[in-house]
């Protein structure tokens, strides 16, 4: 059973400056809900009871978001705004959330290494804080189910177009079934030529505790950062690793255009204004300016 999750959320968010000058990119809202709240919700819906968020400089807003806010609750109570009050209280009760700070930005692998004392000798889930996945069965649950079968590290992957392989960790290997592959190679952000396939790591993992030893042996890689993908390559010498092609739609909040598309799609799904929003988009797209 996977009971613990790690959410790395320490990155600087350079691509979203100046919006991220004084607030973490994981707090960028999709309409009215911060991205990281969707990620925490996915973990909770997957049966995770304990979450460690790896935060960093300027990330206090994330801690505050998952904490009680008595002043706000008092104010909402006086205004008789029960619906919002319940939602605000629910957020602080979602799970046992802990925080640890990554003091220097040394990469995703280093961020994960900060979780070693917290997760100990248990396998754990990793959910990247800037990726939201809309699915019927929460993706972390999908991966946990495969983990229960294989008892080895499982990487959530999805097919990406050739021109996007250089944005992701790409895996190659032998297909075991429609969605499951035994991995034999991993490359972080390869060129089209170097890419072993077009299956990209989709920001969701189940990792065995052996990953920490592998991380200790990992040298800085792409962008001079300690890459989780490179550590997985070392882990592969000792343990099998499997990939699972996730069922769901992934929203990468890490790029501006994808963020914009995400907001539009989520807007179209919101009952209270989807009709009006759809009509607005139609009208905008048919007008000449
Ligand atoms: C990270 C990982 C990469 C993975 C990607 C998914 O890259 O290093 O392997 O495919 O997340 O979003 P980043 O987007 O942080 O550069």
From the CA of 11, give the closest atom in ligand 1. 15
Q: Does pLDDT of 268 surpass 90?
A: yes
Reported CATH class of domain 4-254: alpha beta
> What's the pLDDT at 13?
80
Would you call 157 helix, strand, or coil by DSSP? strand
- State the pLDDT at residue 192: 95
Nearest to 249 by CA among 227, 269, 270, 276: 269
Atom 11 in ligand 1: residue holding the nearest Cα: 203
Residues contacting residue 107 through CB under 8 Å, at least 6 positions apart: 220, 221, 223, 225, 226, 227, 228
Q: How much is the pLDDT for 271?
A: 94
**Ligand 1: does its nearest atom lie under 6 Å from the Cβ of 123?**
no
- pLDDT for 65: 93
Task: List all residues 6 or more positions away from 239 whose beta carbon is below 8 Å from its beta carbon.
Answer: 152, 153, 208, 210
Share of the chain above pLDDT 90, in %: 79
Look at residues 154, 219, 151 and name the one whose alpha carbon lies nearest to residue 188. 219
Region 117-122: what's the mean pLDDT?
96
CB 47 within 8 A of CB 5: no
Specify the higher pLDDT residue, 278 or 77.
Answer: 278
The answer, yes or no, to whether any atom of ligand 1 lies below 6 A from the CB of 188, is yes
Whether ligand 1 lies within 6 angstroms of the CB of 108 is answered as: yes
Question: Does residue 198 register a pLDDT over 80?
Answer: yes
Sequence length of the chain is 289
Instruction: Kindly give the distance from the C-alpha atom of residue 165 to the centroid of ligand 1, in angstroms, as a whole number.
Output: 11
Pairing of strands 169-175, 199-207: antiparallel
How many Å apart are CA 48 and CA 3, to the nearest integer? Answer: 5
Cα-to-centroid distance, 272 and ligand 1 (Å): 34
* 204: alpha, beta or left? (left if phi > 0; alpha if psi -120 to 50): beta
* pTM, entire model: 0.94
Q: Kindly report which listed range (87-91, 154-158, 241-245, 264-268) carries the lowest average pLDDT score.
A: 87-91
Ligand 1: does its nearest atom lie under 6 Å from the Cβ of 201?
Answer: yes
**Within a 10 A sphere around the Cβ of 189, how many other Cβ atoms?**
18
Average pLDDT over residues 2-6: 97
> pLDDT tens-digit profile of 201-216?
999 999 999 999 999 9
**200 confidence band (pLDDT: 50, 70, 90):** very high
Domain chopping of the chain, boundaries:
4-254, 256-289
Name the average pLDDT for the chain.
94
pLDDT digits (tens, 9 = 90+) for 122-172: 999 999 988 999 999 999 999 999 999 999 999 999 999 999 999 999 999
pLDDT at 231: 98
Which residue puts its alpha carbon closest to atom 12 of ligand 1?
203
What Å distances lie between residue 10 and 26, 83, 154, CA to CA?
A: 9, 32, 23
Q: How many helices (DSSP H) and strands (DSSP E) are in the chain?
A: 11, 13
How many angstroms is it from 72 CA to the middle of ligand 1?
A: 36
pLDDT recorded at residue 82: 76
What is the DSSP secondary-structure string of 210-271? Answer: THHHHHHTPPP-GGGS--HHHHHHHHTTTS-EEEEE--SEEEETTSHHHHHHHHHHHHHH-T
Q: Provide the pLDDT for residue 224.
A: 93
């Amino acid at each position: 059973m996977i009971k613990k999750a790690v959410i790395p959320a320490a990155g600087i968010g350079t691509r979203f400056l100046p919006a991220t000058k004084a607030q973490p990119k994981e707090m960028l809202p999709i309409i009215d809900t911060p991205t990281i709240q969707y990620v925490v919700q996915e973990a909770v819906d997957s049966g995770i009871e304990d979450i460690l968020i790896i935060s960093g400089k300027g990330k206090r807003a994330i801690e505050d978001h998952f904490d009680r806010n008595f002043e706000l609750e008092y104010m909402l109570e006086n205004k008789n705004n029960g619906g919002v009050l319940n939602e605000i209280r629910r957020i602080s009760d979602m799970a046992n959330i802990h925080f640890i700070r990554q003091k220097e930005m040394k990469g995703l692998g280093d961020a994960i290494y900060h979780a070693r004392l917290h997760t100990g000798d248990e396998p754990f889930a990793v959910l990247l804080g800037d990726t939201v996945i809309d699915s019927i069965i929460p993706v972390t649950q999908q991966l946990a189910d495969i983990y229960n079968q294989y008892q080895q590290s499982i990487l959530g992957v999805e097919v990406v177009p050739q021109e996007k392989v250089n944005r992701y960790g790409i895996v190659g290997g032998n297909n075991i079934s429609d969605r499951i592959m035994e991995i034999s190679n991993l490359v972080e952000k390869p060129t089209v030529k170097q890419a072993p396939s077009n299956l990209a790591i989709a920001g969701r993992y189940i990792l065995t505790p052996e990953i920490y030893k592998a991380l200790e042996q990992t040298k800085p890689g792409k962008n001079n950062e300690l890459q989780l993908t490179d550590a997985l390559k070392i882990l592969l010498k000792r343990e099998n690793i499997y990939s699972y092609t996730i069922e769901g739609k992934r929203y990468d909040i890490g790029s501006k255009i994808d963020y914009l598309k995400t907001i539009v799609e989520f807007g179209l799904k919101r009952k209270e204004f989807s009709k009006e929003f759809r009509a607005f988009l139609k009208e905008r797209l048919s007008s000449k300016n």
